[in-house]
Amino acid sequence: MEDLVLDGCSLSLADLVLIARHGAHVSLDEDAIIRMKASRAVVERCVDEQHKRYGITTGFGKFCDVMISKEDNAVLQKNLIMSHACGQGKPLSVEVVRAMMALRANALAVGNSGIRPSVVQLLLDMLNTGVIPLVPEKGSLGASGDLAPLAHVALVMIGMGEAFYGGEKMSGKQALTLAGLKPVSLEAKEGLALINGTQAMTAIGALAVDSAMSLSKSATITGAMSLQALRGITDAFDPRIHTLRRQKGQQACAEEMRRLLEDSRFTTRQGDLRVQDAYTLRCIPQVHGACMDAIAYAKAVVENELNAVTDNPLIFPPMEAFLEGNTGRENGGEPGDIISGGNFHGEPIALAMDFLGIACAELADISERRIERLVNPNLSAGLPAFLTRNGGLNSGFMIVQYSAASLVSENKILAHPASVDSIPSSANQEDHVSMGTIAARKAASIIENSQRVVAMELMASCQALDIRAAEMGIGPVQDCLSPRTAAVYEVVRSAVSGLDGDRVMYPDIDAVFSLIADGTIADCVE
């Protein structure tokens, strides 16, 4: 695999997934190096001439009016990293931290942050050699960016903190040494450039969106499996119905349901067995489709943020510095602009992640109700109670539904939006914050819970189909299912056998969960 080149403007979600989850190597675009040198020259001129600019010749937060001498600037940057590394809780996963590192480097590559290219190169060298900082998952307010999480990344860059290397936890200094790397001494603005951004919430959010897209596909496939097990009615997916609603996600989901159910011998038409189905079957396009639209919205916001510059202040070199690579000092050139703003505020990601979490919670909610229909003999169109032939002696899928209900209830709590909360910080200088990182973490938790609920439904639907095919006497399950869902059934049955009597269920659930989490179920349908 060739290196992915970070240029600050073209990183895609697919690229980030390759870096974070599949270990793709990264390199720095040559033009990005020119841009970084140009903005660095503006910072150095500011320091030399002692212009009063936030975070370059002043302190941080409430201390924005305290001037810092040129001699103290290196100490200021080191102190910033040390004092801001206040993360709490369990470490973020290696894949999330890899995404954070790539995103921070990509933002710096735009060339408006005033950092030396050599500092960014160290960040990429760490990523490529597998030096992954230990970053606690909690402690960010989501403005000014993800200060605490990113400070833990920067700690390792200056030879402090802790890191994972070769699968082992060790000091950051030791990890750098084993990888053949040397720590960096930060200069003016560089500590701030490394930590003042939205890369923790965006990393968590981007990977959550990737998982949510796969979850959405798997949930619809699983819904089609359950509909067949319950002898559902296909008329509800008639394109004429969905065209009238004019909702894109709904129309796409209805089309997918028609495709998934084509040539099934289990499905019925309205009036064959009943006139219409319950909402959890009949309204799959309306519910799943709306969730698809929400996921698409979150994806669009995240994709914008992947190439965003989110630190403060921002450096704007004179145009000739970008075009010719000069510093702006030659021949009395213009010094460039240093402007304070608020791009670090995580509100766009916070709102998108809250929406994403709610949408994925709904996928689990409707999935759990389909599980109930499968196991409840009053609702299952003739299937035995809890999908076991010897009820009483055996409990079958009884507690599978309990577990799904528990996860759905947990999701309801997690779906409370984080973005509506704010708490002032830095002596009220930073008086409104986004809680975007909390929103992203919650969304990721909801998605995992939802993957597990859909896994339980998929197991239950396969069990119900085994029973249904035997009772109907119409041949092997695969021959009666639609061709596309037959492939899904075979994948599930290659991992988990049908339930004959009782057995320990959690390994089966975990196995099917893995098939959903790694995208196998979503990918096995053409």
Residues annotated as catalytic (active site), given as ranges: 54
The string of DSSP codes covering 298-338 is HHHHHHHHHT----SSEEE--HHHHHH---S-GGG----EE
Compute the distance between CA of residue 491 and CA of residue 318 in angstroms, rounded to an integer: 59
- In whole angstroms, give the CA distance from residue 245 to residue 141: 40
The three-class DSSP label of residue 265 is coil
Q: What is the number of residues in the chain?
A: 526
How far is residue 22's CA from residue 55's CA, in Å, rounded to a whole number? 36
DSSP 499: P
C-alpha distance across the termini of the chain, in Å = 26
How far is Cα 142 from Cα 199, in angstroms, rounded to an integer?
A: 10
Instruction: For tokens 């040397």, name the residue.
Output: 182
Give all strands (DSSP E) within 32-112, no chain letters.
88-91
Q: Say how far apart CA 32 and CA 8 lie, in whole Å.
A: 8
CA quadruple 121, 126, 132, 136: dihedral sign: negative
Phi, psi (5° rounding) for residue 182?
A: -120, 140
Please compute Rg for the chain using Cα positions: 27
What Cα–Cα distance (Å) separates residue 469 from each residue in 88, 376, 397, 473, 489?
53, 18, 18, 6, 13
For the beta carbon of residue 267, count every other beta carbon within 10 angstroms. 21
Residue 138: its H or E element: strand 136-138
Residue pair 220/258 in contact by the 8 Å Cβ criterion = no
Nearest CA to 201 among 361, 413, 357, 62? 357
Structural tokens at position 110: 């735009």
Residue 300: CB atoms within 10 Å: 12
DSSP state of 61: G
Helix (H, G, I), strand (E, B) or coil at 342: coil
**Are the C-beta atoms of residues 525 and 490 closer than 8 Å to each other?**
no
Structure tokens at 498: 């049908």
The amino acid at residue 170 is M
* Amino acid present at 37: K
Give the single-character DSSP code of 339.
Answer: E
Cα 286 to Cα 242: distance, rounded to the nearest angstrom: 9
Helix, strand or coil, per DSSP, at residue 262: coil
In whole angstroms, give the CA distance from residue 434 to residue 145.
Answer: 9
